Structure 1
């Protein structure tokens, strides 16, 4: 190494090495690869003699991400056993495929490409005397079996969920949408991890402007690592200073398929079962895929119950504090006497009571979530009962406050999406402070601020509160209530300008079970 090269920064030396063209000498190429991988123990290099090529060959792969069985059976055995009467050139891929029965083979011409293919599970075949080599697809990433989702449980519906392998996830989507219009565009993000990210959409339904915007935001990401879809979510969302999620995440393939059919775009990240869907609306965070598998009247009732639970999780402690502190006249005299008799020995005001109980419950919930599953649930239930009863008996809090906190906690579990549940759990504390300071007026001001903030949010240019604000009568068929499937014959208005219709013109007769000849 010359003095000038020694003085180069390490990054420049690596870059200049990685962009080197392959040498005709296998020994030199292997030496470069060994120095690049620092003699890693999982880098396997084998010398092979074969009649397919007149010169010696070298097989290079990384153990674990390349399938060793495929390398042995379909590459090494083919090279050593097959006999040919003439020499085969590396450029003749069709001839080589007759002997090496692997699905995909390509020609590689520089060290950088070889390194990338090795890290993606390829096996590289180097032949002495050639300044290019073959990249043979032998990927074999270990993955867990497709199982039922544990975070989005349904009574009725499919039982499969996404896994950590991106190609398995795209296959689960294609199983449901068998259309030539389904596009899967892949790229690598992360200068160190080179994480594969795929953008999935239906090109005859999704707006091209929306697709272009998603691709633009993804290509702008400049970071060294992407380990989970949460990295992508924070880097591409419209507004970061908001407690509300503006990008939907799910591990259910049927939910993603349904969103794609509405004109939305899915972003899949290798290494995580959670898929991002954009744009996302506020109303979607309290809806579940089962809403479309059950009767519409029953589901409409459940959606109303979820909305009630959403408001209870946000406002129940605040209303209790405001009424018991400032607005006694709103309570019946009997109930008022009962509440004050319970609070007779409590040394703290209602606001401090609520803060103590809310913090205690959040600690117990987090402990139950992080502990081993076999004991976590038992600890949560027993811990809540013991702490609640002990606090009442010790006179730290009143029994009514324990009931209010329990109702609030149960209501937060009714919200189907965990990220939205977290948002209301965070907002609960400032709402309690406003109610303790200004009573019901403080609650009204807090709700108004939250509502104005929600109306100001956008998800990839789409108003977050649509179709409520701006109001759209057509899309009310699937917002707070759900009407029958045959009435939801149009896709969301703000997402589709060209391909709006979901049903054919004769659907009105089919929905009633009638005969079109009548």
Structure 2
């Protein structure tokens, strides 16, 4: 790929040096302008040119150009070409008598399209056409009227496939930056919500949107994000992952320092917390920054369920991450170096299982981990209809086969299976991948030094995490540095009325009208019920218990 790019640059520079021809531009002659645009696009067949005549006695030639796959055909036909054809008779005589500025007249009285502007720069005109807009060229003018007609085939809003929830909103982002912005605005109807557009990629000219909440987001953070995005000078920006690598604080770390999501409700919540959101056209994954370690263990469902259920689920996720990191390595350390810590009965069973196994526990773990990763990757790449079936069946057959062949002990199969299941309990896919990578380092340390190696690895891991920053924010905050007030929504998720300023349920109930005010006008209906409750309260204790 790099060789092709270098070769392309060399040919391009040699071409420009040899030809000496000036860059294409708009001409006062309509035919020359159309020819220049067609030549710039390599005479592409999807470039549609619709020529019209403006005026009756002295008609003026004009043309509307658009790319059929990117522009909305209805907008082009009805609001651009239709406006020029249907409204000609009404204003043609006025134009011929007074001879006003024709482009200004088209903008003010003729074109029915919602957004239109006059553009004279060649690069801006080409970018508009390549983005799906329609360019109107007029004979005798070296300018173009750009009409907003972007459309084409897009995916409809569907539920997120990577971050599914049982309770909560079911809509997810799509590949259109305009649609994604609208999904966010539906949730935050505030004038403080700010939106900035920019184009990144010298060749792709990808539309990138940056959103933040004025007076909530830190101004230094917003400026830092803006500067990092503007410094990007790559030829292509095709996915938000390109930006993630270019703007993150530290590259050589397995831990993700920028959060990505497909869920509009997650983005809205983070915007209200003061974070900055980056939306890239062409991908449903939106970047949220800065990000901290605890953020990757939070799910959108935590705020849709009761707080006690959310606390339980979060504890399960943190325990699953510990099992993912240390499960196989702890087993290796026990059975290789510290078997005296294993209960005698269990130790006898383990030794009896290892009688016919030719490999040590470390090699067993590597073999099973490698096989499990292959099955996981195969299940992702295969067609969805059979991918999960092949993964499950393959794991069952492979596990039973290696045990019967005497290559792996049954307890090792259980440990690796539990570790693999624990990786799926983490909401953020990139954090689960980080845990899978670090797990192999702990396997090596446990195989060489036992618990001493695991302890050394944990010290290095915590030190490395403590050195990470995400746009200046410590990665382990609010634990390091410790902030007691920010512990309301980390491992635990307290009730909403304790996390945010507002009324508590007791205060809300205290401000509700009295029972008599609520039931006014219904005394006759409620009288039998009230009398029955009063009589029940006057019954002797013994009589009530007997009934």
With normalisation by structure 2, the TM-score equals: 0.87
Question: Mean Cα displacement is larger for which, 63-72 or 256-265?
Answer: 63-72
- Show CA shifts across 1:397-418 (max 9, x none): 0000000000000001101100
Gaps of 5+ in 2: 1-10, 515-547
**Whole-angstrom distance in 1 between the partners of 2:25 and 2:18:** 15
Alignment of 1:300-311 (within 5 A): 300-311=311-322
Q: Report how far residue 22 of structure 1 moved.
A: 2.7
Alignment of 1:356-375 (within 5 A): 356-375=367-386
**Secondary structure, in 3 states, of the residue corresponding to 1:163?**
coil
Q: Report how far residue 61 of structure 1 moved.
A: 1.2
**Whole-angstrom distance in 1 between the partners of 2:49 and 2:434:** 52
Alignment of 1:382-421 (within 5 A): 382-421=393-432
Partner of 1:515: 511
Determine whether 1:72 maps to 2:77: yes
**Whole-angstrom distance in 2 between the partners of 1:300 and 1:204:** 31
1:125 to 113, 118, 136: 136
**Whole-angstrom distance in 2 between the partners of 1:47 and 1:418:** 52
**Whole-angstrom distance in 2 between the partners of 1:237 and 1:206:** 19
Q: Report how far residue 116 of structure 1 moved.
A: 1.1
Partner of 1:213: 224
Partner of 2:534: none
**Whole-angstrom distance in 1 between the partners of 2:332 and 2:13:** 67
Determine whether 1:40 maps to 2:44: yes
**Secondary structure, in 3 states, of the residue corresponding to 1:86?**
helix
Q: CA RMSD in A?
A: 2.1
Evaluate the alpha carbon distance shift between residue 339 and residue 89 of structure 1 in structure 2; reply closer, same or farther with a 3 A threshold. farther
Gaps of 5+ in 1: 1-5, 490-502
Determine whether 1:183 maps to 2:187: no
Q: Report how far residue 90 of structure 1 moved.
A: 5.0
Paired residues of 1:303 and 1:480 also in contact (CA < 8 A) = yes
Determine whether 1:158 maps to 2:169: yes
Question: Mean Cα displacement is larger for which, 459-468 or 126-135?
Answer: 126-135
Evaluate the alpha carbon distance shift between residue 10 and residue 211 of structure 1 in structure 2; reply closer, same or farther with a 3 A threshold. farther
Partner of 2:54: 50
**Whole-angstrom distance in 1 between the partners of 2:144 and 2:353:** 82
**Whole-angstrom distance in 2 between the partners of 1:22 and 1:476:** 61
Evaluate the alpha carbon distance shift between residue 89 and residue 433 of structure 1 in structure 2; reply closer, same or farther with a 3 A threshold. farther
- Greater C-alpha Rg: 2
Partner of 1:485: 496
Determine whether 1:329 maps to 2:333: no
**Secondary structure, in 3 states, of the residue corresponding to 2:311?**
helix
Alignment of 1:235-384 (within 5 A): 235-384=246-395
**Secondary structure, in 3 states, of the residue corresponding to 1:184?**
strand
With normalisation by structure 1, the TM-score equals: 0.92
Evaluate the alpha carbon distance shift between residue 360 and residue 509 of structure 1 in structure 2; reply closer, same or farther with a 3 A threshold. closer
Alignment of 1:416-495 (within 5 A): 416-489=427-500
Paired residues of 2:311 and 2:492 also in contact (CA < 8 A) = yes
Determine whether 1:204 maps to 2:215: yes
**Secondary structure, in 3 states, of the residue corresponding to 2:181?**
helix
